[in-house]
A = this chain, B = another copy of it.
Amino acid sequence: MSSSKKNLSWKHQLHEIIYEADTKKGKIFDVILFTAIITSILLVMLESIESFDTKYHAFLDIGEWVITILFTIEYIMRIIAIKKPLKYIFSFYGIIDLLATLPKYLSFIFVGSHHLVALRALRLLRVFRILKLARYIGASNKLLVAIRASRAKIAVFMFFVIILCIILGTVMYMVEGAENGFTSIPRSVYWAIVTLTTVGFGDIYPHTPLGQLIASIIMILGYGIIAIPTGIVSSEMTRTNNLPTNTQACPNCLKDSHKENAIYCYHCGSTLNE
């Protein structure tokens, strides 16, 4: 019984180190994990540069193996430390953690595992976990509230932009035609998106005067309507910033968010403390 208790406490301690960041050990673990992920990204990046890969292939390969083994140990520890291991294994991060280690092992069994390198890139998604750090910055809280509040409005706007691009792309396909690079409607829609969002690669561009006129209209439109999402987020953040500073709840009916200078509860009429 004592052994079981000790075992539980040992698991509990591991859980605190791996899953939480409040203790000193937990912080050290997070920093090591952070460094390992960054290193792993750098290794994948360097390997993708052909001239670099041919020179330092052995070094990169060893580095990959060290990272893979570290990630494997971490993966096993995560399963041990948690009470419901299946819930973790089939969670979003659980699957990514597995996918981050598997390809390297598979490259051992299958010789022609050249295309499995692609799967290793998913390891990059682990970087998102670092965003947990953002929670401690605190600044992102109000930011997230504002973004979440304006989500619906921005979705409507995005939807409108896509419809606009489909119509404008089709018009440009009819006006310019295949001989000027607008070889198909999807390609023309792609061009319309490139133009409306003011990216302007220049791989496709209008050649006819009419096409240039329509392009001009698209560009001025794109230059103007960018004001809409910006306006949405700006006003939402201004509202979030202005949220009532009177945070007390009514002593009678417990309703909160009273007006800043309220003397009486707006809901039950009781006198508020102050």
Contact = CB atoms under 8 A, between A and B. Distances in A.
Interface of A: 41, 44-45, 48-50, 118, 121, 124-125, 127-128, 130-131, 134, 137-140, 142-143, 146-147, 152-163, 166-167, 170-171, 173-174, 178, 183-187, 189-190, 193-203, 205, 209, 212-213, 215-216, 219-220, 222-224, 226-242, 257-259, 261-271
A205 B186 CA distance: 16
5 closest Cβ pairs, A-B complex? A231-B233, A264-B269, A235-B237, A139-B152, A199-B200
7 contacts: A49-B184, A134-B159, A143-B157, A146-B235, A201-B201, A238-B239, A261-B267
Nearest to A236: B231
Given A41-B166, A127-B166, A160-B131, A224 B267 contact: no
Grouping DSSP codes into helix (H, G, I), strand (E, B) and loop, the A interface class, with mixed when no group exceeds half, is helix
Contact of A234 (B159, B212, B223, B238): B238
A193 B220 contact: yes
B232 A143 contact: yes
Given A153-B143, A166-B41, A227 B235 contact: no
Given A159-B134, A226-B226, A228-B143, A45 B154 contact: no
A116 to B, nearest CB: 11
Contact of A184 (B48, B160, B228): B48
B193 A216 contact: yes
A142 B156 CA distance: 12
Contacts of A195: 199
A118 B171 CA distance: 8
A223 B171 CA distance: 22
A263 B267 contact: yes
Contacts of A170: 44, 121, 124
